[in-house]
Chains A and B, each alone.
Chain A
Amino acid sequence: MVRLVSIGLTVFFMCGLFPPVAAAERLRLATTTSTEVSGLLAELLPPFEQANDCKVDVIAVGTGKALKLGESGDVDVVLVHARSQEDKFMADGYGSDRRDLMYNDFVLLGPPHDPAGALDTSDLAEAMSKIASSKVSFVSRGDESGTHVRELQLWQAAGLVPQGDWYLEAGRGMGEVIIMANERQGYTLSDRGTYLAFKDTVDLKRVVAGDERLFNPYGVIMVNPARHPHVKKDLARKFLDFLTSEEGQGLINGFKMAKEQLFYTH
């Protein structure tokens, strides 16, 4: 009996060493959480994987960390949304090919009774300074994600340095931050996709949307093979070609979440 069990266990472990998924060529993609959590990549990747007999491994992290993984060569492609950091990434020679992929916008969210009175204004900078002067909680990502970078730019545009008891740096993902803002009945900045995912579970409302400073472009960058020779440059280039092809762009435009189009192509 003991022998039987140990044989069984051995077989079990041996099987474990060979994952059940057939090992085709693998492309590593570090991306911002919004593209994975929204379900866009689940639509976008399978046609590419089938056409090229490969598997795209998605590592969903914040923009800051995704770029770091690109810098250290731990991934082949990064898909992020913080143009200033992307440009720096390219200028420092970490990327070899950057393309505009798609865009949508950020939304400023707040409680429905709008304690800061930010709803009355259509000017974003004014809304931000009203929130700051009302001392109603503002939950910040605080994690160097693309959304966090943009939020800091917005404070700067309003001529403010956010600090004090009301400014909460959560250091967590977008979804958790929306929940926190909801629980504290405070304000926060979110990408549109994550907001749509949470729209029915929280009662936060869009305070300001449509301001051009909320424009949220996504770029896709191939990690520089000259710096990291192990980068799968042929497959990575094919991936960039696919994303920017008519087929890829069509899939992005056709992707809907809660009956709303989530990403737009240029």
Chain B
Amino acid sequence: MNYLSDSLLAAVALILSFDREVQLAVWTSLYTAAVAIVIAATLGVPIGLWLGLKRFSGRRVLITLLNTLMAMPTVVIGLVLFGLFSRQGPLGELGLLFTPVAMIAGQTVLAIPIVANYVLACVNGADQRVIDTARTLGATQFQASIQLIKEIRFGVMAALIAGFGRVIGEVGVAMMLGGNIRGSTRTMTTAIALETSKGEFVFGLSLGLVLLCVALIVNLFLNMLQQR
């Protein structure tokens, strides 16, 4: 019990102290997750729309595949991209391993199936006459799709929130591709893992509480947008 209340106090102290290292870790977590989710949205939303609207042979297979990808462990994504970004790998020349760019790439791969699946579910649940109506009114296929996205915007927002939550809370990709470098690729989650391995459980848990606070603020903000 002491352990938990100590952590709570330490978390409050940590937030109030504006510790630079903690700030940097929060910042790294936030911006990698945010960039990853933007890229994942630009790829995942169209995939979800396409699978939801088009009827073609092999569609069921693709959907099953997408569902399976949601279960992909973050460490496996880390391993695959590690092979890609390592100096020995095909993209090794770029020297991207252990940089924020590599982390963003991994988190994007992690988020795309989640975003696409949520959007797919929304499209299936939406009134598809929106598309037909828009088309009869002279809209192009693209314009009609935009109309549909407007119709299911809450669902799309939920997709982005789910993806963001998954990405900002994961540790496997950030650790493998980022390397937990202080002041560069150390995120909230890898910092927690490091403090745990040091035996600083109270500090680790208080960092966890800080992470939850940050997630809360982001979600409040997105919620505010949704209300409008």
Contacts and interface: CB of A to CB of B under 8 A. Distances in A.
Contact of A57 (B32, B184, B225): B184
B91 to A, nearest CB: 12
Interface stretch (B10-18, B119-127, B166-174, B196-204): B196-204
Interface string B171-200: 000000001111110000000001011110
B98 interface: yes
A28 B197 contact: no
22 contacts: A1-B228, A2-B225, A5-B225, A13-B31, A13-B38, A16-B32, A19-B184, A20-B27, A21-B184, A37-B194, A37-B197, A57-B181, A58-B182, A59-B180, A59-B181, A60-B180, A72-B88, A74-B86, A173-B197, A175-B197, A197-B198, A198-B199
A74 B87 contact: yes
Contacts of B97: 74
Interface string B201-228: 1000000000000000000000001001
A209 interface: no
Interface string A12-23: 110111011100
B113 interface: no
A57 B98 CA distance: 9
Interface of B: 24, 27-28, 30-32, 34-35, 38, 86-88, 92, 95, 97-98, 100, 179-184, 194, 196-199, 201, 225, 228
A77 interface: no
4 A-B pairs closest in CB distance: A16-B31, A73-B87, A59-B179, A175-B197
Contacts of A33: 197
Contacts of A60: 180, 194
Interface in A13-55: 13, 15-17, 19-21, 28, 33, 37, 55
Q: Is the interface of B mostly helix, strand, loop or mixed?
A: helix
Contacts of A84: none
Interface string A192-222: 0000011001000000000000000000000
Contact of B183 (A21, A175, A201): A21
A59 B102 CA distance: 15
Given A59-B180, A178-B199, A179-B199, 7 more contacts: A12-B31, A13-B34, A16-B32, A20-B27, A57-B98, A72-B86, A175-B198
Nearest to B83: A72
Contacts, number: 73
Interface in A172-194: 173-176, 178-179
Contacts of B194: 37, 60
Nearest to A71: B88
B225 to A, nearest CB: 7
Contacts of B30: 16
A117 B180 CA distance: 41
B35 A13 contact: yes
Nearest to A15: B31
A176 B194 CA distance: 11
A67 to B, nearest CB: 14
A228 interface: yes
A182 to B, nearest CB: 10
Given A13-B38, A72-B87, A73-B87, A175 B32 contact: no
A130 B198 CA distance: 30
Contacts of B225: 2, 5
A230 interface: yes
A167 B197 CA distance: 21
B31 A228 contact: no
Contacts of A72: 86-88
A58 B190 CA distance: 13
A72 B182 CA distance: 22
B171 to A, nearest CB: 13
A1 B224 CA distance: 12
